[in-house]
Structure 1
Amino acid sequence: MLFLATAILSASIHFAGAVDAPVVPGVAVTAPGEPGGPPLADTAAPPRGDEPATVDTTPGLEQVAVCRALATAEPSTTTGARPSTAAPDLTVPACLAELRGASSPALTALGDSFDPVGDDASRLSAVLTAGADAPTTAAWWAGLDDSRRLGLVAAVPGVVGQLEGVPYSVRDQANRLFLGAATLALHDRDETAAEQVGDDARSAMLGQVQLALADRSAGDEDRQLIALDTVMPGRAAVSVGSLDTADDVSVLVPGMFFTVQGQMVDWAETAGQLHDEQRAWTYLLARSDARPLDSVAVVAWMGYRTPDLTNVYTLDLARQGAGHLEDALSGLDAARASDAPRVTVVAHSYGSTTATLALSSGRVSVDSLALLGSPGSVVPTAAMLSVADDDVYAAAGSFDPVAGSGYFGVDPGTGAFGAVLLHTGGGDDSVTGRALRAALGHNDYLLPGTESMRSLALIALGHGDMVDGDERGPGEPRPDGPELALVRPQDVYLRD
């Protein structure tokens, strides 16, 4: 069944070829306190691999050899998202301590020693994120003085920009520096002896990130580049609105065929359109009950490698993506610990399965979850997801061949799952009277002017009670859709 569905999708969705992303080595982590800083033992999460070995974390004031070794270690040959094998002296606490205490010339030397297009920075940021949880990183950053923070951004922007728990304004500045430096380095070695296979694709991928940041076709608010991994096929996240201050934050998780090179601009535009819908409703709601306007931010999150037709039949990429999504949500919690926003995850297609993996791990939680066109949840009921008050919604268009397939688990659209099944048929808005379009196909849910887009905006603002949906009892089936054999390719298309 899913093969036919994916074949239909492939006839109409534009996608770029993806290359296996290298797996960076994980690190066995202890939690000793850093000299002169907050104790790590109180905040570090349990390691996700082998038991750690205790190490000396005395900072090297003139060298940053530990961080350099972590950045240039050979990729692991094992499979899996987060292997945890490393030499005893290659530890995240030691690296963080040395970044705190190293001299400015040592930091400059570290940055200069990295490869110019970002591979070393991506590896180091990956092991730091995997080896130190977001609260630990947030506490480490808070313990640095301003000059050291500026020095780190200048010397290793590709590392600072990926550290979960660091303020998003800082990460945006660092990632933009990283983006510019990597783009220039690729340009400088174009058509020279230093040029490497894949440079053209990487340049195109980075160009799409730049276009996504510059685009103002929707969501006319400052954009933040909150994540950037330059290793192909690339990972990135762009926020429309400030994640440092927004009252309501939505995180958009994409499904299959989405790559940074192919869909970053489109996904950021989608985030902007949802942002516009949310902003419109904040004005309407404020006028009705005299409340102050909520500020909103919507993240176009492309933080994992999504599948194509060759690898969509397993959960391997969903598991890796779930780990990255957990990190992103933990980073938001840590960065906004003193002023927590309302957080909603909006996950489409394969991304909905990825989201159920992340939110059933017990490591992160959100306020609301919307699963759009889902091929299945890894847990049988919404109550098993870490979502406040079981505020879970599902959408299944009548001509969506993926929704209801249950390929990866329980269909969130069934009554037994316990989610509110959103109406997607369109009609007149009960509040504004405007005509709402139907969302029938697999990629219609986030189109402007649809009933589903209206519902997602209200859910993100904490007004799920205003959406039209069915809270059906256990055992009640989802509405019947057409036979897959009757679905035409044009019924499942890339959003405009």
Structure 2
Amino acid sequence: MRYATLAKLKPSEFEDAADGYGFASSMAGEAKDGLGGRITKGMNTALSGKAATEARTQVRKLAANFHYTQIECGLIRTSLNALAADLRAAKKKLEAAVAEAKAEGLTVNPDGSVTYPAGGDKVDGEVPEGGTVPARAGTADPGAAGNPLSPSREASAQAEALERQAANLGGNPHRAKAVAIANRIATAVREATEADQAWAPRLRALTADDDLDVSPADWADAQKDMRGARKGAEDYLGDIKDPPKDGTPKDNARWWKGLSDQERDDLVALRPASVGALDGLPADVRDEANRAVMAEKRGQYELRLAALRADEPQRTAAMGHETAAWREWDKKRERLEGKLNGMKAIQERFDRTGRDGLPEAYLLGFDPEGEGDGKVILANGNPDTADHRAVYVPGTGTDISKIGGDLGRGEDMWRESHKMAPGKNVSVISWFDYNAPDTIPQATSGSYAEKAGPRLQNFLEGAEAAQPGSSHTTVMGHSYGSTVIGESAKHHRIPADDIVVAGSPGMQVGHARDLGVGTDRVWAMGAGAFDDRVVRYGGKLVGLGEELTIPTDENFGGKIMKSDSGGHSGFWDENSQSLRNQAAVITGKYHRVELDD
């Protein structure tokens, strides 16, 4: 870039272009939301049959196209704004140097050099002559004819030092000022050139294939584009105030509200994983960020799985035994397929919106790796606008590869609660943001709950901070999930009105009053089946509750609900008494809870 180019440059033109891409991103986002929400909901409500199934498939593909467009245009918007910021900083330096030159009576020439007049004390009867000094900072455009800028920064630094010596010894005070200003001009030109050269390939990379199919490779490429744009925009993003270090969910909520719309858009575009994981932010913001993360991760994992399948080693050795190489390969395959199965389950929940009246889903947390088990927080209905909000915490064996079952339980609780409180907004959240025990022996330890309790507390406080008003909140734990709830309530005032547990092996406390919601708001149920009794009384034996009590013991002090569950996992069977009792508590219809006398 030349001096004349930078002098005429208008960073606002890049910002205007960024606004255009921002508008395109918003339009694509609205189209995606309409297809995935209102239109899908209407189709699921009114249509059935083979043709409807095919139509829904096409709508999903179209929604994916708009989602990809939304993300890529958002990246272009933020990249152009970051480039404009870099160029504006460089031009500001240039303009300051030119203004100072004018104030000092110096002339800045079209090539960036600076001419100074004669001046100073006479030497041998003559006033020291004026002259012209070229700029001496390095440039990435050394080959341009007549360019006064040095092609080498090292050589430039040496030249600048010599120039300063000469300026100080020459007797003309104007020369030293001209040298300093010329070098500032060259520095500004160099910085603008570096910004242009850094952003040009990143912007060129933000292109899509000329087809109508968003492939796994496209999503993986979008993730690569995001990393490149984020690296280039470090200084630009650095001007945005970071969330409070070790801040509470309320602190996070205040921080988010204090950002401008553009700052929020930039953070969602370049740091979606961070935004999506931040407790205290609005549900729709977290959902938008986490859906972008999931789309890109899904593309990445599908590419990795395809590459792995193409490189399958020999399965059996000469004696018919499986080879160690194949077993290791199969372990990787199973793991990748499991993660993808979890993402598929989440997407299928999105696609069920409208079926049997099911509301839109909000992805409030997502990380396929998350301490090995993965992380999924998904709400049926917007928790920020809910009259009744329930948070369901699953137990032992929960993993993203099997998350479909727990998402289904959230749907079941929503449907039954919606029937029990027509006209009210209900949100049921499946919360899986902890490293759950993988086996029953592991579940005899309270250490998993000790790590998970603070996370649950933060999430509940975040949901409370994000909601403009207030809602009736129920926390529901199954099996070891109840232990997590107890650990949270043991140390903090848990932001909940009711606590419901099913098949609980113990809650880390000895009495219902220790949970902080009042003994008349602690509800427990168990099943008579062998597997559920093993879990509950096994927990009692190993001491997951103080004084060896479990919530279904009468001396625990809570209310024991009737249950017709046929086993440890049957509390959500359709039309069951167990499910109705949960819905009655979730909706505050306590008179409809059937107690076990």
> Does the TM-score normalized on the shorter chain lie above 0.5?
yes
SS of the counterpart of 2:382?
coil
Decide which of 131, 134, 140 is 2:255's aligned counterpart.
Answer: 140
Decide which of 239, 246, 271 is 2:410's aligned counterpart.
Answer: 271
SS of the counterpart of 2:574?
coil
Distance of aligned partners of 1:171 and 1:214 in 2 relative to their CA distance in 1, 3 Å threshold: same
Matches within 5 A, 1:302-321: 302-309=432-439, 311-321=442-452
The reply on whether 1:370 has 2:500 as its aligned counterpart is yes
Decide which of 367, 370, 377 is 1:229's aligned counterpart.
Answer: 367
Q: Name the residue aligned to 1:243.
A: 383
Query: For 2:245 and 2:448, how far apart are their aligned partners in 1?
Result: 17
CA shift digits 1:20-58 (9 cap, x unpaired): xxxxxxxxxxxxxxxxxxxxxxxxxxxxxxxxxxxxxxx
The reply on whether 1:461 has 2:577 as its aligned counterpart is no
Decide which of 512, 515, 524 is 1:394's aligned counterpart.
Answer: 524
Query: For 1:391 and 1:301, how far apart are their aligned partners in 2?
Result: 21
Query: For 1:218 and 1:165, how far apart are their aligned partners in 2?
Result: 31
CA shift digits 1:105-155 (9 cap, x unpaired): 89x999515999xxxxxxxxxx97982210111010000011111111111
TM-score (norm 2): 0.52
Shift of 1:233: 2.1
SS of the counterpart of 1:469?
coil
Query: For 2:562 and 2:416, how far apart are their aligned partners in 1?
Result: 17
Decide which of 248, 251, 260 is 2:400's aligned counterpart.
Answer: 260
C-alpha RMSD of the superposition: 3.1
SS of the counterpart of 2:469?
coil
Shift of 1:201: 4.2
Decide which of 146, 149, 169 is 2:264's aligned counterpart.
Answer: 149
Aligned AA (2:571): Y
Shift of 1:330: 1.1
Q: Name the residue aligned to 2:48.
A: none
Shift of 1:327: 1.6
Q: Name the residue aligned to 2:484.
A: 354
| Contact map agreement 2:452 2:484 (CA 8 A) in 1 | yes
Aligned AA (2:470): A
Matches within 5 A, 1:338-353: 338-353=468-483
Query: For 1:111 and 1:165, how far apart are their aligned partners in 2?
Result: 24
| Contact map agreement 1:233 1:260 (CA 8 A) in 2 | yes
Query: For 2:457 and 2:244, how far apart are their aligned partners in 1?
Result: 11
Aligned AA (1:277): E
Query: For 1:137 and 1:381, how far apart are their aligned partners in 2?
Result: 34
| Contact map agreement 1:219 1:273 (CA 8 A) in 2 | no
The reply on whether 1:207 has 2:348 as its aligned counterpart is no
Decide which of 162, 168, 185 is 2:300's aligned counterpart.
Answer: 185
The reply on whether 1:417 has 2:556 as its aligned counterpart is yes
Distance of aligned partners of 1:377 and 1:188 in 2 relative to their CA distance in 1, 3 Å threshold: closer
| Contact map agreement 1:397 1:403 (CA 8 A) in 2 | no
| Contact map agreement 2:373 2:398 (CA 8 A) in 1 | no
CA shift digits 1:441-489 (9 cap, x unpaired): 2112121211111111010111223212157xxxxxxxxxxxxxxxxxx
Distance of aligned partners of 1:415 and 1:136 in 2 relative to their CA distance in 1, 3 Å threshold: same
CA shift digits 1:290-337 (9 cap, x unpaired): xxx22101011222221122522211211222122112101111101x
Relative to total residues, which structure has the larger helix share, 1 or 2?
2
Query: For 2:230 and 2:263, how far apart are their aligned partners in 1?
Result: 22
Shift of 1:212: 3.3
Aligned AA (2:459): A
Distance of aligned partners of 1:398 and 1:181 in 2 relative to their CA distance in 1, 3 Å threshold: same
Query: For 2:494 and 2:526, how far apart are their aligned partners in 1?
Result: 26
Q: Name the residue aligned to 1:73.
A: none
Q: Name the residue aligned to 1:331.
A: 462
Aligned AA (2:430): A
SS of the counterpart of 1:227?
strand
Q: Name the residue aligned to 1:403.
A: 536
Aligned AA (2:415): D
Distance of aligned partners of 1:417 and 1:167 in 2 relative to their CA distance in 1, 3 Å threshold: same
SS of the counterpart of 2:385?
coil
The reply on whether 1:444 has 2:570 as its aligned counterpart is yes
SS of the counterpart of 1:447?
coil
Query: For 2:244 and 2:496, how far apart are their aligned partners in 1?
Result: 20
Shift of 1:219: 5.9
| Contact map agreement 2:410 2:429 (CA 8 A) in 1 | yes
| Contact map agreement 1:323 1:358 (CA 8 A) in 2 | yes
Query: For 2:488 and 2:405, how far apart are their aligned partners in 1?
Result: 24
TM-score (norm 1): 0.62
Structure 1 segments of 4+ aligned residues over 3 angstroms from their partners: 108-111, 113-116, 127-130, 187-193, 195-205, 215-219
Equivalent pairs, count = 334
Query: For 1:278 and 1:305, how far apart are their aligned partners in 2?
Result: 29
Shift of 1:403: 2.6
Percent identity for Structure 1 against Structure 2: 26
The reply on whether 1:385 has 2:515 as its aligned counterpart is yes
Q: Structure 1 residues 319-328 or 372-381, which shifts more?
A: 319-328
| Contact map agreement 1:236 1:301 (CA 8 A) in 2 | yes
SS of the counterpart of 1:300?
strand
Question: Which structure ranks higher in relative contact order (CA pairs < 8 Å, sequence separation ≥ 6)?
Answer: 1
Aligned AA (2:246): G
CA shift digits 1:43-95 (9 cap, x unpaired): xxxxxxxxxxxxxxxxxx97xxxxxxxxxxxxxxxxxxxxxxxxxxxxxxxxx
Query: For 1:325 and 1:440, how far apart are their aligned partners in 2?
Result: 29
| Contact map agreement 1:250 1:297 (CA 8 A) in 2 | yes
Shift of 1:367: 0.3
Query: For 2:229 and 2:522, how far apart are their aligned partners in 1?
Result: 44
Query: For 2:243 and 2:375, how far apart are their aligned partners in 1?
Result: 16
Query: For 2:526 and 2:245, how far apart are their aligned partners in 1?
Result: 35
Query: For 1:295 and 1:377, how far apart are their aligned partners in 2?
Result: 30
Query: For 2:573 and 2:224, how far apart are their aligned partners in 1?
Result: 48
Shift of 1:189: 4.6
Query: For 1:190 and 1:446, how far apart are their aligned partners in 2?
Result: 34
Larger of the two Rg values belongs to structure: 2
Q: Name the residue aligned to 2:238.
A: none
| Contact map agreement 1:349 1:372 (CA 8 A) in 2 | yes
Distance of aligned partners of 1:206 and 1:389 in 2 relative to their CA distance in 1, 3 Å threshold: same
Aligned AA (2:419): A
